[in-house]
Structure 1
Amino acid sequence: MLAVAAVSSLTTSFSTAGSPPPALADPEPAPTHTAVTEFPRPEDPDAPLRAAIEEARKQGKPVAVEQVYTETSRTWAYPDGHLTMESYAGPARLRQADGSWAWIDTALVEQDGVLRPKVAKADVEFSTGGGGKPFASMERDEQDQRFALEWPAPLPRPVVNGNVATYTDAAGAGADLVVTALPTGFRHDVVLREKPSGPVEFRIPVQAENLTSSKTKDGGLKLADEAGKTVAKAPAPVMTDSSGRRPAVRQDGRSPLVRQRVGKIDTRVIKDSGRSLLVLAPDAGWLADPATEYPVVVDPTTTLTLQNDVQVYSGPCGGDSTSSDQ
């Protein structure tokens, strides 16, 4: 109570001392305008799914949810409210210009004097024969990048079977050039149908627009853009014989797994008259070995793709793999 009284007395003395002029009331403050920012209502990412479930209930059957399709997955809604997704290891469907989706189909068709896959993610072209043009090329228009391989001699018209084009005897008598279209690129092999009479070497001119080709530490091939980023690569090339393609049948009726014999290929990327050459020299001793069974597939494994952050390549046994290594 004492403290309160003292404060009250002090306040009174300040208000009366010196008889100051009476305080004028502050004028009414001008109204202030508060800026209100209106943000758009966020879209509901699950709206297509809920709508599809409702439609599935109406129809009494599963409904495809195409709004959430991707190149590697499909989603279905069911009348009981659950969803299923089909996933694929790589691109399986591509969105078309009209918004619809089409299954990838790498079967080759002839258009404008070249062979192209019907539906593929990579813009790939193969030669229909002759000389003076690449036997295989791949482009990415938005990056203005192009990778192409030439053959040092004119090519015969290829025999086309699905996604495979075979240029018979292109690499010499009994040696075929075989090119295969893939969903995200291509691969090429040389198939030696019979034992060569001596050492063989393949010198393949390489075209790389806005790309630099070079040899990797493990003997493979890589392509880098102007910033030095690796956009495609392949492991060291190998060659395999036919020993693993004819498994013997055991007495119990089972077919045992037979490993293919694998030979080495010396790989170099050189400059010749200002042009890049991919030089492949298969192991001559391995080719001449009586244990080597023909045909032999010389697999340069240059199954390269110009897709962002994805490399597709062939392994020693011809299977396709994917990697995100940069």
Structure 2
Amino acid sequence: MVAALTLSAAPTAEATAASNLMALRQAPTQPKQEVVTERPDMVSAGLSARLQNSRVEITSERTEESTTWANPDGTITTEINSGPIRVRRGEGWTRVDTTLVQAGNRLVPKAADADIDFSADGSGAFASIADDTHGEGQRQAQT
């Protein structure tokens, strides 16, 4: 008498799913790379732009009215605005924000190019603006 034993090498659907799940759990996780949006100089911005295939701002080229970008293809792009989009605050820049906030009995913009204020309570001048065109630092008031 001859006994026959057949072994199948084809995995079942359950075995395949379990194997895939184990592989996912054991797969090394790659740290997610953070996208660089700005660099301090042209060389580092150009290198970052090329490596990540997206433009990177060159912060040393910032002005009140312009933003300069290093592109992945090695070119440079400067966007120039018709008016200020940022103002100096100490050593850095901040975006222009004309939202009025109270400062004593006056209302002043959060961040603006002009040194302007308005009456918050009706006392004093309705508005005043600094006029430094002649280096005298005078304020003009409107009542």
In which range does the TM-score fall when normalised by the shorter chain? 0.5 to 0.7
Give 1:120 deviation, angstroms: 0.4
How high is the sequence identity, in percent, across the aligned residues? 42
Output the CA distance in 1 between the equivalents of 2:43 and 2:69: 11
- Specify the alignment match of 1:134 in structure 2: 125
Output the CA distance in 1 between the equivalents of 2:136 and 2:84: 20
Output the CA distance in 1 between the equivalents of 2:129 and 2:110: 15
Q: Residue 121 of structure 1 is aligned with which of 79, 104, 113?
A: 113
Give the partner amino acid of 2:128. Answer: S
Structure 2: gaps of 5 or more residues: 1-40
Give 1:140 deviation, angstroms: 4.6
Report which structure shows greater RCO (CA 8 Å, sep ≥6): 1
Moved over 4 A (4+): none
SS in 2 for 1:143: coil
Output the CA distance in 2 between the equivalents of 1:112 and 1:58: 50
Give 1:55 deviation, angstroms: 2.5
Name the Cα RMSD after superposition. Answer: 2.1
More helix by share: 2
- Specify the alignment match of 1:145 in structure 2: 138
Please list, as runs of the form range in 1=range in 2, the aligned pairs for 1:163-182 lying within 5 A after superposition.
none
Give the partner amino acid of 2:130. Answer: E
- Specify the alignment match of 1:312 in structure 2: none
> What TM-score do you get using the length of structure 2 for normalisation?
0.63
Change (3 A) 1:149 1:95: same
Give the partner amino acid of 2:121. Answer: G
Give CA deviations for 1:148-203 in whole Å, capped at 9, x if unaligned. Answer: 111xxxxxxxxxxxxxxxxxxxxxxxxxxxxxxxxxxxxxxxxxxxxxxxxxxxxx
- Specify the alignment match of 2:94 in structure 1: 102
Give CA deviations for 1:26-62 in whole Å, capped at 9, x if unaligned. Answer: xxxxxxxxxxxxxxxxxxxxxx323321232233321
> What TM-score do you get using the length of structure 1 for normalisation?
0.29
Give the partner amino acid of 2:105. Answer: G
Give the partner amino acid of 1:76. Answer: W
Give the partner amino acid of 2:82. Answer: A
Structure 1: gaps of 5 or more residues: 1-47, 151-326
- Greater Cα radius of gyration, structure 1 or 2: 1
Give the partner amino acid of 1:147. Answer: Q
